[in-house]
Amino acid sequence: MKNIFLNLHGFGSSGANSKAAALIENYPDHELISPDLPADPLECLEIIDKIIVENKERPLVMQGSSMGGFYSLIMHLRHRIPALLINPALTPAELVRNRLGDVYEFSNGDSILISQEHVDRFATAQEELEKRIAKQGASRGQVLALIGEHDELLDQNAMKSILKKAGAAIISYDTDHQFQGYGEVSRKDERVRNFLLQLRQQN
C-alpha cells in the first residue's frame, strides 16, 4: 500500500516548497497533498483538520517544516497520525511577537503586517499544543523530529525540551533552519525513509 504524504509548509512559504519537492523526487509512486496555508494559525488548523478528516480512511503520513512542524504536532495529538517534524517552531507566539509591527513578505508575493491579533491567535494554538502534550503526549514511535543544529531562527535546546516532553524521537543534523540537504536526507537516511514509508494501522 502506498502512503499519502501531507506536507505542511512554514510561515510565509507555500505548498510548493523544497520539502514537497523532495518527496515528489524521492517517492514518485506515492501521493502528495501539499496545501497553501494562510497566515492565520487557527485557519491553518481548520484547513488541515478538514483534509485529515476527509482522508481518515487513507494511510496519511504528515511532514511539517518550521511552523508546519508545529501544526503537524498538534494534528498528531488530535488524530494520532504519524508526523515527521523538520525544525518545528513549537513556540510560535514568541516568534511572531518578536516581529510585531513588521511587514512579513510571503513567497507568493503577498505580505501582512504582524499585529497583536496574530500573536494572540498563535498563543491560542500554542496553548492547545501545551495542553495536549501535558494530557497525552505523542504515540510511541509516531513522531520523529529532525533538528538542524545550526538553526539561525529557533532555540533548538528549547525545541528539544518540548519534543522530549511530548515523547518525540529526535535526530540531529549539521544543517540550518532551512534544512539544506533535506532531499538527500529523505532519500538516504534509513531512519527517515522508514518513517515516511511506514504503513499506518487503520482503525
**d(Cα 41, Cα 89) in Å, to the nearest integer?**
12
Compute the average pLDDT of residues 184-199. 92
pLDDT of residue 199 exceeding 70 = no
Contact 83, 62 (CB under 8 A): yes
pTM above 0.85, yes or no: yes
Compute the average pLDDT of residues 2-29. 94
**d(Cα 119, Cα 100) in Å, to the nearest integer?**
8
User: Tens digits of per-residue pLDDT, 82-125?
Assistant: 999 999 999 999 998 988 887 777 777 677 888 899 999 999 99
User: Tens digits of per-residue pLDDT, 58-89?
Assistant: 899 999 999 999 999 999 999 999 999 999 99
Contact 146, 119 (CB under 8 A): no
**d(Cα 106, Cα 111) in Å, to the nearest integer?**
6
